[in-house]
Amino acid sequence: MSNPKIEAHSAAEMTGRHFRYYDFVMAAFVAILLLSNIIGASKRSIIELPFIGEWPFGAGVLFFPLSYIIGDLLTEVYGYARARRVIWTGFGALLFMGFMAWVVVSLPAAPGWNGQAAYVEVFGNSWRIVAASMLAFWAGEFANSFVLAKMKVADQGKRMGLRFVASTVVGQGLDSLIFYPIAFYGLDGWPTNELFKTVLSQWAIKTGWEILLLPLTITIVTAIKRKEGVEVYDSQTNFTPFKTQV
């Protein structure tokens, strides 16, 4: 059986069209985003590097970059406007998660239950961590999507891998630069020199993840484009982040 024909369209021409896999990609994006903030956002780990010594990194870096890969997929396949809608969905989910974590941690513990201290340690993120996470996510994801969409139009769809890496360099750089100083600057266990080493290592590791997984990302994106049968270009798109309409 031959592959479906891929037709090029501006994003505006896709308004109202139903896509087969868009909802599944959105669900994966939000799930990875929430898990990365629950499991790894505040843990600082150390690895031993040859010729360098101990180098700190945030544990969330192990799987958070997957959200950027899915973000690349969203913008590349479905266009900036639909990616913007998913980013706002993720932002709302983060906000709700932060609020409910505060509510649950604040509930009085039952007599005889000894897990409150551990519960607070794991889920009782300060307002700084919550605010830093949301701001870094918002700025980084929109920068990633904007750069990718603009490069695709300027390059007429060529060099997909280049725009994936370039957009990640910008988006992940903003994410790391915003999150760690806002969340941890001045706190015990986060010396200033270690903090900024962590920022740099996060940026490098996240970008490295993108490069390492680039063949897989391109394969998946190409397959989904064939399944959806479209090639979306944001040539007539309103790039304001402050709307959710497609």
d(CA 231, CA 135): 31
Tokens of 193: 């020199």
pLDDT of residue 18: 84
Residue 190: Cβ-neighbour burial (10 angstroms; 0-12, 13-18, 19+): middle
Bridge partners for 10 per DSSP: 233
Domains and CATH numbers, the chain: 7-233 (1.10.1760)
Q: Which of 56-65, 103-112, 127-136, 159-168 has the highest mean pLDDT?
A: 159-168
Q: Which 8-state DSSP code applies to residue 231?
A: E
pLDDT of residue 2: 42
d(CA 177, CA 225): 33
pTM score, whole prediction: 0.87
pLDDT of residue 206: 81
Residue 123: Cβ-neighbour burial (10 angstroms; 0-12, 13-18, 19+): middle
pLDDT of residue 1: 42
**Would you put residue 112 in left (φ > 0), alpha (ψ -120 to 50) or beta?**
left
d(CA 161, CA 183): 32
- Name the percent of the chain lying above pLDDT 70: 91
Strands 230-233 and 7-10: parallel
Using the predicted structure, report yes or no on whether residue 186 has a pLDDT greater than 70. Answer: yes
| Residues belonging to the chain | 246
- Name the percent of the chain lying above pLDDT 90: 48
pLDDT of residue 38: 76
Least confident range of 6-15, 122-131, 206-215, 221-230: 6-15
Using the predicted structure, report yes or no on whether residue 148 has a pLDDT greater than 90. Answer: yes
pLDDT of residue 120: 85
pLDDT of residue 60: 67
